[in-house]
Amino acid sequence: MINLVLFGPPGAGKGTQAIYLAQTFNLVHLSTGDLLRQEIAAKTDLGRIADEIISKGELVPDSIVISMIEAKLKSPKTTVGFIFDGFPRTVNQAHALDQLLRKHHSKVSVMLCLEVDKKELIDRLLKRGLTSGRCDDANEATIENRINVYNEKTAPLIHYYESQGKYHPIHGIGEIEEIAARLKETVENL
């Protein structure tokens, strides 16, 4: 089983590239952002809590995210693996993911890290905010906070996966197809 962690700051293109990788390698795309947005749209208790946290540019608590991921891992499916998009976001979540995968007799195969400079991230998110309806993409101060939270709480995952020999940086600027080709080549070479 192949399990990819697609990693990068907000606006790096994880969602777009995760869909491509899932189709290319027959993986189940697990996007915690999509799962949370579904809960918000359905106005569930979880959705209301998550909406309040996300609108501030902060991270949803580990317990909520881990429960959602575990439910997806348990659901019946025929796949060669998963692509984790937006999870893990902290070292604690990475440990929790390792434990969950061990329960399912699997492990993280590789962490693909999309590298994009801050100015490009802000431009991409503001542009996406014009069409997405997402309040966390429409305000530059919120975007700046999201990037700061990423740098403080999420970027340490690079060292976590690097120490395991699973970290692979990918240049995340260019046409979508160019970035997809870089990702595909990296996975095929593993």
As a dihedral over the C-alpha atoms of residue 4, residue 172, residue 9, residue 45, rounded to 10 degrees, the angle is: -60
pLDDT in tens, 108-151: 999 999 999 999 999 999 999 888 877 778 889 989 999 998 99
- Tell me the per-residue pLDDT of 158-172, one tens digit each, with 9 for 90 and over: 999 999 999 999 999
Quick check: 66 and 84 in contact, CB under 8 A? no
Give, in order, the Cα–Cα distances in Å from 80 to each of 74, 87, 90, 131, 185.
15, 19, 25, 34, 18
User: pLDDT tens digits for 53-107?
Assistant: 888 878 788 887 877 787 777 776 677 899 999 889 889 889 999 998 998 889 9
Q: What is the pLDDT of residue 76?
A: 62
| Tokens 């990423």 found at | 150
What kind and span of H or E run contains 30?
A: strand 28-31
Q: Are 15 and 68 in contact (CB under 8 A)?
A: no
What pTM did the predictor assign?
0.84
